[in-house]
Amino acid sequence: MYQQRVKQVEADMTKVVGSFSDDLKQLRTGRASSALVEDVIVSFYGTPTPLKHVGSITTPDPNLIVVSPWDKSILGEIENAIRTSDLGVNPTNDGTVVRIAIPPMTEERRIELSKRLHQMAEEVRVALRTIRRDAWDEIQDMEKAGKISEDDRYAAEKELNKSIDDFHGKIDQAVEAKDKEMMTV
């Protein structure tokens, strides 16, 4: 009976870590990446739409992102959406495409982004611990209600601890890789 709850915990933790991985793609590194702008929200005929759904995004060189909208009439909307996002870049519109020059990051900015990365990782760890705590409370309630034995409770605790340790390891690996990528000049 507790096995179902442990499987649910692992599924929930996988979703949290997957979301964290998606958030990591949005963090700026020293080079251009389409993931940096693909989720910027653009007003497409009055409908808020992610940039990746209104045009193609390419990175022709390490310091440039080019957005080619499928409908040229929204070039101004794309430019404004990117400018007002918190990316700290200044797009230019040449009438056909929007070009985003990615300036080289300063050492200060790298350190600031590294701190933000570690804050994000800690938020994910807290979310994982919350999932584990909720499951542990349910398992203890199951034992009190007589649905599982004391041995089952110990087995569940062991599985929950193993799961959270595995997911903490995945987070640590992702943070280390992203930190290395950001600090590379």
- Given 3-state DSSP classes, what are the helix, strand and coil percentages for the chain, each rounded to the nearest 5? 65, 15, 20
**Would you state the pLDDT for residue 30?**
66
pLDDT above 70 for 34: yes
Spatial CB neighbours of 117, under 8 Å, sequence gap ≥ 6: 24, 27, 175, 178, 179, 182
**Taking a C-beta distance cutoff of 8 angstroms, is the pair 42, 74 a contact?**
yes
CATH fold, domain 34-101, is Gyrase A; domain 2 (3.30.1360)
pLDDT for residue 131: 94
**CATH code for the part of the protein at 2-26+106-183:** 1.10.132.20
Confidence check: pLDDT of 1 > 80: no
The domain segmentation of the chain, as residue ranges, is 2-26+106-183, 34-101
The token duo for 39 is: 């989720």
Question: Which residue has tokens 């790298």?
Answer: 110
**pLDDT tens by residue, 68-123:** 999 888 898 999 888 888 777 889 988 899 999 887 778 887 888 889 889 999 99
Whole-angstrom CA distances from 26 to 11, 32, 43 are: 24, 11, 20
Q: Residues with Cβ < 8 Å from 22, sequence gap 6 or more?
A: none
Provide the mean pLDDT of the chain: 88
Tokens of 147: 């649905």
| Mean pLDDT, range 149-156, rounded to an integer | 90
Whether pTM > 0.75 for this model: the answer is no
Residues in a beta bridge with 93: 98
Residue 3's pLDDT band (cuts 50, 70, 90): confident
* Cα–Cα dist 18/29, whole Å: 20
Neighbouring residues of 43: CB distance < 8 A, sequence distance ≥ 6: 49, 77, 81
